[in-house]
Amino acid sequence: MRFHARTAARTTARTTRWGTAAVTAAVLTALAGTQHAGAAGAEAGGTGERAAAQRTGASLGVLRHDVAAVRKAGGGKVKVLAEIRDGRTAVRARAGSGKPVPWNARFRAASTTKTFTAVVLLQLADEGKLSLDDTVEKWLPGVVKGNGNDGSRITVRDLLRQTSGLYDYVDDPELAGVLQDFEKYRYDTTPAASYVAVAMRHKPLFTPRRGDPPRWAYSNTNYLLAGMIAEKAGKLPWREQVEHRVIAPLGLRATHAAGANPFMPGPHARVTLPLPGKDGKPLDVTEHSLQHTADSAVISTTRDLGTFYRALMTGKLLSKDRLAEMKQTVERTDDPDDVAAWPKGGYGLGLRENPLSCGGSYRHHEGDGFGSYTRTGVTDDGRRAVTVSLTSDGGIPDQIRLNSATRKLVDHALCGTDG
């Protein structure tokens, strides 16, 4: 998802995958006046963590400081867990009031799922089961049509690198009431095809351009279609392919692609948002079925996501040529919301690239769901990775401040002590 600096209501809608009126401006204004930083409560995992920090070159003190800064940027109403992985060693820190986030907490990775989906499509391409230059119409005849939408002009590559121009289904006004009446929609399992149909009610933002650079705009609709194509080409449900092709081979035992089951498995932090609950307190939104599609369904841990991104960058999931293709980025031309969130860098095939202060760049994909925020980063050689999980604890963070703080944390983590 992406964020916008000008309107808090639209910002919140981006982070929750639904329409622009998801939370009223009055609620957000009240929150802005009541949120406070509070005590950071940052801590790390004991003497073993210090030894790991020495071996990896990561600074435990810097990570603690950055985690506390991220919590402060979130208005003091987020719980933060961060982990730096380098080989078999890890350095971790956490912050938050009340019951601490478990070190092995599971969380909804939201749009970080898009990298998993892109890997599945690229593996299918490696196996000759599809081509990135295949059109959407070839695989899903008649699905993308009407109101100027034309699946014969959009390729699989366009879907994965966000150059299709398709309307983002989460912006549809009819989906705006999800947070306003969360209990009504909590167990919704609307299939991907139905959400694509919602997007088809709207004109595309643009027609894909074959020039250089192509036009670009972030749309979750792209990854719904990518998942549907994966099911046709791979002859298995998208969730099963993620399990068989990525999760099982890498031994990601705490990771799975969520389906209709609303419950969070294993240790996790509770997620609360300032929405009207039955008792008047912030609403617990931990359990729900809303994020079950190929744009947002993965549930994971900081450890597993670090393992995933390092494996991806070191060639354990894709051929050398296909990985190089995945890492080729395009300029983000038509999306001020996205540029506000990520001022520098480009977008590849389900993978962003952003610069490091120490030189070079890192790869990642963010994720934002219902009060759960994920930030990732991996060095281009796959040597070091960092994952940050943030959980709303009764507030809605300012996304511009939060993104700025997490970018600094990722930069310091990947550059090392002197970052």
With 0-12 / 13-18 / 19 or more C-beta atoms within 10 angstroms meaning exposed / middle / buried, residue 226 is buried
Sequential DSSP letters for 128-194: TS--TT-BHHHHSTTTSEETTEEGGG-BHHHHHHT-S----GGG-GGGTTTTTTHHHHTT----HHH
SS3 content of the chain, % helix, strand, coil (to 5): 40, 15, 45
- Which residues are CB-neighbours of 278 under 8 A, at least 6 positions away? none
CA–CA gap between residue 195 and residue 225 (Å, rounded)? 10
User: Which residue in the block uniquely carries the two structure tokens 């994971």?
Assistant: 300
- In which element (H, E) is residue 304 found? helix 302-313
Q: Are strands 43-44 and 149-150 parallel, antiparallel or unpaired?
A: unpaired
CA–CA gap between residue 307 and residue 85 (Å, rounded)? 8
Q: Are strands 256-257 and 272-276 parallel, antiparallel or unpaired?
A: unpaired
Confirm if 30 and 19 have CB atoms less than 8 A apart: no
Confirm if 39 and 15 have CB atoms less than 8 A apart: no
Active site (annotated) includes residue 111: yes
CA–CA gap between residue 374 and residue 66 (Å, rounded)? 15
Confirm if 82 and 58 have CB atoms less than 8 A apart: no
User: Phi/psi at 390 (nearest 5 deg)?
Assistant: -120, 135
CA–CA gap between residue 413 and residue 169 (Å, rounded)? 35
Confirm if 111 and 368 have CB atoms less than 8 A apart: yes
How far, in Å, are 352, 378, 419 from residue 358 at the CA level?
Answer: 18, 14, 6
Instruction: Spot the catalytic one: 111, 296, 389, 392.
Output: 111
Q: Which residues are part of the catalytic machinery?
A: 111
